[in-house]
Amino acid sequence: MDESWKGKIVGKCKLEKPIGDGAAGVVYKARHITLDIDVAVKLLLPHQCKDDTILRFQQEARTAGLLDHEYVVKIFDVGYENKVHYIVREYVDGHSVEYYLAKQGALPLRKSTQIVKKIAEGLAAAHAVDILHRDIKPANVLLGKNGEVKIADFGVARLSSRNTRLTQAGSIIGTLAYTAPEQFKGEANQSSDLYSLGITYFEMLSGQPPYKGHNPLEYIHHHVHSPIPSIRDQRAEVPEGIDAIISRLMEKDYLDRFANASELAKALEPYTQKKTDLATKKYAPSSVHSSTKKDTESLTKNENKEASKGFSKNNLSINKEELDGLETFEATIDPPTGLSSFWVKTITFLLLFMASISFSVALFIFWFKWKKGL
């Protein structure tokens, strides 16, 4: 991590130590001189200051600044000082869900459900002020040592009523392993965040995401076409009710998911109580499903009409031309960077070419040794 800013003062904060970094900036734990509290300061360093990165950085501050909820990381300040853009935000003394998954694998059942319920409540607050997160994943859920749960990183969030894009046409926002099918059409709605949360919930309980891919096209195929896996196949102790909730979150057609995040939180509530026997508790989808389509259509009617084109329940398809048009992937995947179909084909060709050369060299060496032995 970049420690070059250690000890410096930015935005009335004395930077103490780096606690995270990435393409979108480095994050320091710091002490706010005026408020006398620990904070996290995200810096966009000079070499990272491309126009779209600056816009996204500023957008993160604006969108997260609109929220004041216990399950969303608070923003205290944003500015530009000493040739560096910065955001001063709430410090969470702990780690991300991604960290714990890497360290210990699958998380406890009830604890995972409590975390997901709180994320749903935080998303409900964001959706209530028209904000879509668009990148819900384990890395963006922070767990504090005192039990806090916080949604972080609104760097690719947007107001759902706006059509403003920070990427070129044909690009995908988010992280491919957690991206909803409709987002591959360049559209997103409130239900898209719930799909990503369903993928995250599955990973928290199984220790691995439901779909794996070696390149972007494989991820797209899984999200759009592959059957929804049952979490009980990975972890038999998970009750049928939770399995049904996760499956519903991962429905291909957004209209078949929960109507909104609040209804998801309500469905999860019985599974978060210590007095509840998780093994016998049943999920009654009718208690939520009866209002799903009506509420979803009324909440996001205009936006979702466009998002659903080509993604009806009986016709989930993306044609080859559309796939070839996805030339920019604003995503971090495993492998960590997305590749367009052009580059996938180019790399495949180069690998085959190198293999043919290696074979020719080996054949020549064999011939040379054979000739020499005569």
Q: Is 179 left (phi over 0), alpha (psi -120 to 50) or beta?
A: beta
Read off the tokens for 127.
């959706």
Is 181:252 a contact under the CB 8 Å cutoff?
yes
> What type of residue is 246?
I
- As a whole number of angstroms, the distance between CA 340 and CA 333 comes to 13
Helix (H, G, I), strand (E, B) or coil at 238: coil
* Cis amide prior to 285 (ω within 30 degrees): no
DSSP string over 178-234: G--GGGGGT---HHHHHHHHHHHHHHHHHSS-S---SSHHHHHHHHHHSPPPPHHHH
Q: Which of 61, 60, 79, 75 is nearest to 134 (CA)?
A: 60
Catalytic pick among 77, 135, 193, 243 = 135
193 catalytic, yes or no?
Answer: no
The 8-class DSSP code of residue 255 comes to G
Number of residues assigned to the chain: 374
- As a whole number of angstroms, the distance between CA 173 and CA 185 comes to 11
Task: Give the distance from CA 68 to its chain's centroid.
Answer: 21
Supply the residues annotated as catalytic: 135
